[in-house]
Structure 1
Amino acid sequence: MAQRPAIPTMSLGHGAAGHSMRAKLEAAHTAGFRGIEVFYACLESFSQSLPGDTPRDKLREAAKQTAAICRELDLTIVVLQPILNYDGIKDSKEHAERVEEITFRLELCKLLGTDMMQIPANFRLDDGITGDEEKVVADLRELADLGAKESPPIRFVYEAMCWSTTNYTWQQGWSIVQKVDRPNFGLVLDAFHIAGYEFADPTLPGGVRPNGEARLKASLEELVKVVPGERVFYVQLVDAERLDPPLARLGSKEGSASPYYIEGQQPRMSWSRNCRLFPYEEDRGAHMPIEQVCRAFLATGFEGWISFELFNRFISESDPSIPTDHAQRGWKSWEALKKNLEL
């Protein structure tokens, strides 16, 4: 399987801002993409205008219509994502409710025609979750076993985010995948989260950690040695703006001059939600060595979908050109990556 480019629906605009599912999918197709990540929030926005007696009936119809549009446009739905803040929930009733909700999403996967869902590591900061590894592994194993019963089986892909509460490095994420030990449970490698932790720090002037280049180099060398490409189900590539002024650290009493600061939110999460850019967009402020990260991903032996997952403050604006603009920018990044890495 050769490397293939994909882009998420959320990266092409927000339904609440008037960007329709069809407009986003058509923009992706026209730009050249043949893979799409479907965001659950995009399905919810789409579903609100559709017939159905219950919200779930409306979501089923949204999944059916999204799948039909993708077939029409020759787009493969790579994944339905994300399942947020699931692993490590302490309260048994809350856990059971989440399992029931995710069981419904298995149905949506089948209606969409995809065999994969993504689970980012829990990033709640309250005492309702635990980072106890046995509990986290048991929770994720429960979902993997549910997915394995489906026909065809549904795969789950775990993402260590750079602001997750406990499992915030690729090493921790890979350890969890190994301990879950199910063939339908794998890893997504995201360049933003790896470079955004090892190399960058949006709370520092200049945006780069002390010894950031050396930290990232060592981390990527380790990744190539220990992670087999077949356990990586897909990868994501984006960069982000260097912030000036920087964000304040979580819990800082001094506040922040940055317009992206949100009290009580992890600064890397605020940075991610507002300031991501496509690779090679240095003219817009991109500053992380994303090409270096991608070379390491491919050196694991990974083959498959490379997704350009961009969050940004602009996706919530009502400008009707956003889906086309973002799709074209993402495709330009893919063309540069393909040339530079000789894909």
Structure 2
Amino acid sequence: MNSKNRSHSLWDVLEESPLFNWILLIVDFIIVGGIGGSLLAAWHIIQIGALDQLGAVAQFAGALATVGLLRVTFSYVRSTQELVDETRKSREDDRQQRKQEKQEELRSLRIALKAELESMGFFDYWSIEAGKGVPTHDTVSTTVYESNSPNLGTLSQSEIKPVVEFYSLMAIVQDMFKRHGDISVEMDASLIGTDTQKKNRVSAIRRHIERLSILRQHALLAIDRQLVESGEESVDFDLSMNEGQVLSAEHPIVHRNPHALHKYGLLEAVTDGDLVFRVTEVGEEFFSGEVDVRELEPQWEDKDWTEKWLGKMNTIQKKLSDVYKTSE
């Protein structure tokens, strides 16, 4: 392979060399002039009757003809090589163009999915507020995911799993919203009595919403990692999510609302006064794909802490939003 590349490079050098082209021109001149001279010499010999000298002229003409044949062969090889080079270059250009188009399509898919996922931040707050009531109708749009479902295979494996799990669970939650709403309406409009199962339904919905919040964070983190790795985006934060890693309030995971991550033991609070968290062992295992979201269980149910944390989170997120708007 290397020798082939070296010979091709030498050929390119000769092709671009003015001296080489001048040598070919001189050879062509000698061949044409020699053949023409041989014909004139033969004609002259015939005229003077020195037929015994025709053999020498014929030998000279034969040698020139051989050189001419070599020259023609060389020109043919040269033209063939140029055609091969053009074909190879055209194929390489097409391959590069297809590669760029696929990369651009993949980039667009990631950005579109990220935008759709980021628009669902309300899941993070529902995971806190679900005890006070849950939606009774379809509240989210999955247009990007559904319209691009045939192209999801172009994503990396680290992206596919959390993205598909999130949207699959969301379909279940949306169905739960609808059923819960239908039952609530029926109970309100009838004389059957009190809806004794409402508390259980709300509890189940809340558990699913919390897991949706966790999966949303995982999917967004996986997409962010790939965008950074491909050079499409740059961030000032470590997205590795290793055990013991400290996340400040400005970190994307915290900025997007880490309530469910903390509640299910993926993050632990470093201090009570600030929104600073540390990645736990379970957190590292989950974000690396080793632990399924269905295996996670709540680690605490402190409602007072939740309300205090929610108020602090709202204040900090407002400040962060103002900073981001200013930087834009």
Structure label with greater radius of gyration: 2
Shorter chain as normaliser: what TM range? under 0.3
Using structure 1 for the length normalisation, give the TM-score.
Answer: 0.24
TM-score with structure 2 setting the length: 0.25
Structure with greater strand share of residues: 1
